Amino acid sequence: MKIVQAASELFPYLKTGGLADAVASLAGTLADQGHEVAVFLPGYRAALEHPHAAAAERRLRLKIEMGDEFLTGDVRVFSPRKNLQVYLVCREEFFDRRQPYGNGERDYEDNADRFIFFCKGVVETLRLAGLQADVVHSHDWQTALLPLLVRDAERKHGVTLAVKTVFTIHNIAYQGLYPRGVFARTNLPEELNNVDGLEYYEQTNLLKGGILFADRVTTVSPRYAQEIQTPEFGNGLEGVVQAREHDIVGLLNGVDLAVWNPATDALLPARYSAANLAGKRICRTELLKRCGFAVDFPGPIYGMVCRFAEQKGLDLLLANQTFFHRQDCRLVLLGSGEARYEEAIRAMAERSPAKIMLSAKLDEGMSHLIEAGSDFFLMPSHFEPCGLNQMYSQVYGTVPIVSQVGGLMDTVTDVDAHPETGTGLMCPPTAAGLRAALHRSLTLFADAPRMAATQRRGMARDFSWKNAADGYARLYQESL
Ligand code: ADP
């Protein structure tokens, strides 16, 4: 099949979270399976500075209609592996910035324009380059208009650009909700500017376009596919999702074993496998050293890596800080995002500097070391569409402590409830729930054979992307 993917993040060129990993792994696996894959990404500064893009060829000049003006841009293309082409849709004014979505304090004011331009750039490239896709698959609010824009361009130009469109919701909490005036920038027919189209309580909701108008809709875990049809998790779009209940399917993300694999991971000081965990102990020592802790500490190390956002349950962690101050344990946190969480966590770490370490930045190498060197990985999320770190943890022999929500429920089994098959500890997303799970982790850690068996069961799980990519390939094929 000829498959086009479009997203606002793509590892290793631009990543703020799981979206980048998921799109890269899906595209790479489909390419390895012999499909012809093109991935579109905005031409961010970081992407253009990446060594792969040095060889990028300037393929097309774009002139994009945005409301009643035309904006120019260009498209650069490179091929990082067989069957895979990366298309960068460039316009300096929009994408030559250090961060993709905002300056850290707030989102950029021109985000609607930036991503509408990107989507239109994708469509215009499909048309000018005659790509004739079997499937155009877009991801999250930034590319949610693609299904509509593809069909609109086909109508206007009398051509076929894609046989089918697929849209994946990676996180329904981010919707691309803008003042109603933004609709004019789409140049879509006015009949879509109402409640059956993009309108949402007197505003324009870009995500809604993807959910309503893609031929097939997917989300990143079976559990989340159910959850987002309820008011608790639907973020106001539960009715819109329910309208597509027969076309929506939950396909679990996987782990890219070329990147996340303790047996081959070049970012670690030592490699290891379930058969020989000696390397994990070296990673543990290195982690303690990097944190400035005594390296011979024998007790449990808790790790956490996440965006500092409400979703991730940092409030539940903070509500349990006494646990970390009192117990003989270590806590290592890596993350960045909202300042209020960073400040609160920093204050917590300053109270017990010999036990708690915060690294407030994006650090790919450190995220691997935390996964490898910790005993437990914390993910007390309030909601989690799929979650990747709990899978990475299991692959790295680190026992995840997770909330009973979304993809966490589909990928972790509680070891107290299921002693023969358990791989982690699960709790309700409340302060008391997390507290109980933390105390259960001390009991588990104190029982070395049970702890080791739990780690090994996690390492034996198959989270490879092959399963996930097969699921998408089947879905594309069915829809065709
Ligand atoms: P989300 O997509 O909601 O952020 P996921 O668990 O699906 O959550 O994916 C998060 C990804 O981002 C993981 O690969 C994680 O390691 C990575 N990540 C998050 N914060 C950081 C950070 N500060 N440094 C390095 N990697 C990070």
Cβ proximity of 209 and 167 under 8 Å:
no
Q: In terms of domains, do 96 and 228 share one?
A: yes
Taking the centre of ligand 1 as the mean of its atom positions, its distance from the CA of residue 18, in whole angstroms, is 6
Question: Which domain range does residue 175 map to?
Answer: 2-254+465-479
Q: In terms of domains, do 246 and 298 share one?
A: no
Taking the centre of ligand 1 as the mean of its atom positions, its distance from the CA of residue 388, in whole angstroms, is 8
Query: Per-residue pLDDT for 104 more than 80?
Result: no
Task: Please write the tens of the pLDDT for every residue from 230-240.
Answer: 999 999 999 99
Q: Which of 308, 388, 395, when mutated, tests ligand 1's pocket best, judged by the most ligand atoms within 8 Å of its CB?
A: 388
The rounded radius of gyration (Å) of the Cα atoms in the chain is: 23
pTM of the model: 0.93
The two structure tokens encoding residue 332: 């290592």
Regarding the beta carbon of 309 and ligand 1, being less than 6 Å apart is answered no
Mean pLDDT of the chain: 97
Regarding the beta carbon of 342 and ligand 1, being less than 6 Å apart is answered no
- What confidence tier does 249 reach under pLDDT thresholds 50, 70, 90? very high
Residues with Cβ within 8 Å of 337's Cβ and at least 6 positions away in sequence, in order, are: 307, 308, 309
- Starting from the edge strand earliest in sequence, which strands make up the sheet with 376-379, in order? 356-359, 330-337, 301-308, 376-379, 399-403, 425-427
Query: Per-residue pLDDT for 55 more than 90?
Result: no
Residue nearest ligand 1's atom 16 by CA = 367
Q: Which of 333, 345, 367, when mutated, tests ligand 1's pocket best, judged by the most ligand atoms within 8 Å of its CB?
A: 367
- Number of separate domains in the chain: 2
- Tell me the C-alpha to C-alpha distance, in Å, between residue 367 and each of 370, 461, 467: 5, 21, 25
Cite the DSSP H helix spans in 73-186: 92-95, 111-129, 146-157, 183-186
Taking the centre of ligand 1 as the mean of its atom positions, its distance from the CA of residue 151, in whole angstroms, is 34
Q: In terms of domains, do 297 and 186 share one?
A: no
Residue scoring higher pLDDT (383 or 466): 383
CA 20, distance to chain mean position in Å, is 6
Regarding the beta carbon of 336 and ligand 1, being less than 6 Å apart is answered yes
Whichever domain contains 209, its CATH number is 3.40.50.2000
Cβ proximity of 329 and 355 under 8 Å:
yes
Q: In terms of domains, do 184 and 296 share one?
A: no
Q: In terms of domains, do 83 and 164 share one?
A: yes
pLDDT score at 67: 98
208 within a domain of the structure (yes/no): yes
User: Which one, of 37, 33, 157, 45, lies nearest residue 90 by Cα?
Assistant: 45
Taking the centre of ligand 1 as the mean of its atom positions, its distance from the CA of residue 61, in whole angstroms, is 34
Q: In terms of domains, do 112 and 245 share one?
A: yes
Taking the centre of ligand 1 as the mean of its atom positions, its distance from the CA of residue 11, in whole angstroms, is 11
Where are the extended beta strands (E) located within 309-343?
Answer: 330-337
Residue nearest ligand 1's atom 20 by CA = 306
267 within a domain of the structure (yes/no): no
282 within a domain of the structure (yes/no): yes
268 within a domain of the structure (yes/no): no
Regarding the beta carbon of 408 and ligand 1, being less than 6 Å apart is answered no
The two structure tokens encoding residue 403: 């909330």
270 within a domain of the structure (yes/no): no
